[in-house]
Amino acid sequence: MLLQNKQIAIVGGGPGGLTLARLLQQNGAAVTVYERDRNRHVREQGGTLDLHDESGLAALRAAGLLDEFKLRYRPGADKLRLTDKHATVVLDQHEEAQTDTFGQASFRPEIDRGPLRELLLDSLQAGTVVWDRHLADVQPEGAGWKLTFHNGATATADILIGADGANSKIRPLLTPIRPFYSGVTIVEGTVYDSAHHAPRLHRLTQGGKIFALDDSRTLVVSAKGDGSLTFYTGCKTVETWARDSGIDFSSAAEVLAWFRQEFAGWDGIWQELFASETTQCVSRPQYCMPLDQTWPARPNLTLLGDAAHLMPPYAGEGVNMAMLDALELAHCLASGQFSDVQAAIAHYEQHMRHRASVVAEETMAQTEALHAPGALTYLVNLFAGGK
């Protein structure tokens, strides 16, 4: 076995990193996940995720966790309403009978990020995840790596895997290739206790999702199991807009003032997103890795998820790509079909980059289409063609 007597370090405890840790442990590997959060409960885990049969769900099946997933996912949360800026519903999946189920490619069940993370954490051996490990520096040490963290702790590893997201500190060790700006910036936020703070939107969402498209702008709202709504706006801006705007995105009042101007003519219902002082937003310029990126394989270093192939969220592939990366990388490392670790990594990276390039091209086309005139008609036709 290639991994015998090898200590594997995964930097990043998101779905991709945790899925990889589970799959490697199933094959007897010694693996540690280093996560910057102080503990498993310190940070809210964002919105909902739809898992796809050929990727996210395939990884959970291989990890022996599909039955546990079925206990934690949210039936009906995948139901979508498409609206225009006046909140007029033009497509309503709540009116459609639910015929898809597990094992069908068209079924994409939703789960909140928090429960998915808990599911994966609970599947790991005790002590696998080391918390409060914000990576500060990585240096070669012998045939492996030495990791130094901001709290002064250190660790060593024979194989290092970067699952540390868009701002990966592992990626520069492998390649200088950087992402390009997509042309769209997202403003993301959460409305807590939406039944109280955003009652009209709470009813409109019906426990599922809303996609509102108009005026070359997007607004996506998703219900969570804890009674909150997560949302993100999408607008074409210059790359430095968020930095140069002077907006304090932690201030609901300042973001509301911006929203009223940027989304002028949109129905007042959308302003409920900013009605509560507890609503805090963040701005996220959207980036994408070059479609033709490549690098030579290393014998003890690789990447997965956004660290490898960052792209905007408009095709819903991010978490699914990361979990499929984990599945394919674990198979390459543990299958016994390769002569050494470098050959296994090379095979994984070649297929991962090709797969990601195809999806990134589709995602960039989707991002452009959703922020162009006629986007609502485009999306209605897209859903109609998918039936």
Domain boundaries of the chain, sorted by first residue: 7-72+113-176+297-368, 180-288
Note the CATH architecture for domain 180-288.
2-Layer Sandwich (3.30)
- Return the structure tokens found at 387: 């039936």
Give, in order, the Cα–Cα distances in Å from 102 to each of 23, 95, 324, 325. 21, 20, 17, 21
Contact of 270 with 263, CB cutoff 8 Å: yes
Angle at alpha carbon of residue 231, lines to 185 and 55, rounded to 5°: 85
Q: Does this chain's domain 7-72+113-176+297-368 share its CATH topology with 180-288?
A: no
| Band of residue 47 on the pLDDT scale cut at 50, 70, 90 | confident
Q: How far is 311 from 286, CA to CA, in rounded Å?
A: 7
Q: Which residue has the higher pLDDT, 386 or 60?
A: 60
Say whether 306 counts as a known binding-site residue: yes
Q: What percent of the chain has pLDDT over 90?
A: 88
Q: What percent of the chain has pLDDT over 70?
A: 99
Run of H or E including 273: none
Reported as a single tens digit per residue, the pLDDT across 151-181 is: 999 999 999 999 999 999 999 999 999 999 9
Contact of 29 with 8, CB cutoff 8 Å: yes
Looking at residues 273-293, what average pLDDT do you find?
93
Looking at residues 234-262, what average pLDDT do you find?
95
| Band of residue 335 on the pLDDT scale cut at 50, 70, 90 | very high
Give, in order, the Cα–Cα distances in Å from 75 to each of 52, 109, 230, 254, 338. 14, 7, 18, 36, 41
CA 343 to chain CA centroid, nearest Å: 28
Q: How far is 41 from 39, CA to CA, in rounded Å?
A: 6
Q: For residue 209, what pLDDT is reported?
A: 95
Q: For residue 386, what pLDDT is reported?
A: 56
Say whether 50 counts as a known binding-site residue: yes
Q: How far is 22 from 16, CA to CA, in rounded Å?
A: 10
- Return the structure tokens found at 349: 């990276």
Say whether 40 counts as a known binding-site residue: no
Q: How many CB atoms lie within 10 A of CB 88?
A: 12
Looking at the DSSP assignment, which residues form a beta bridge with residue 33? 10, 129
Reported as a single tens digit per residue, the pLDDT across 19-29 is: 999 999 999 99
Please provide the average confidence, as pLDDT, over all residues in the chain: 94
Beta strands across the sheet bearing 301-303: 129-130, 30-34, 7-11, 159-162, 301-303
Contact of 72 with 108, CB cutoff 8 Å: no
Q: For residue 44, what pLDDT is reported?
A: 64
Say whether 37 counts as a known binding-site residue: no
Which residues touch 162 (CB under 8 Å, ≥6 apart)?
A: 11, 12, 168, 169, 170, 171, 173, 174, 301, 302, 303, 304, 307, 308
Reported as a single tens digit per residue, the pLDDT across 73-87 is: 999 999 999 999 999
Is-above-0.75 flag for pTM? Answer: yes
Q: Which residue has the tokens 């102080």?
A: 38
- Return the structure tokens found at 6: 């090898």
Q: CATH code for 7-72+113-176+297-368?
A: 3.50.50.60
Q: Which range, of 110-114, 214-218, 325-329, averages the lowest pLDDT? A: 110-114
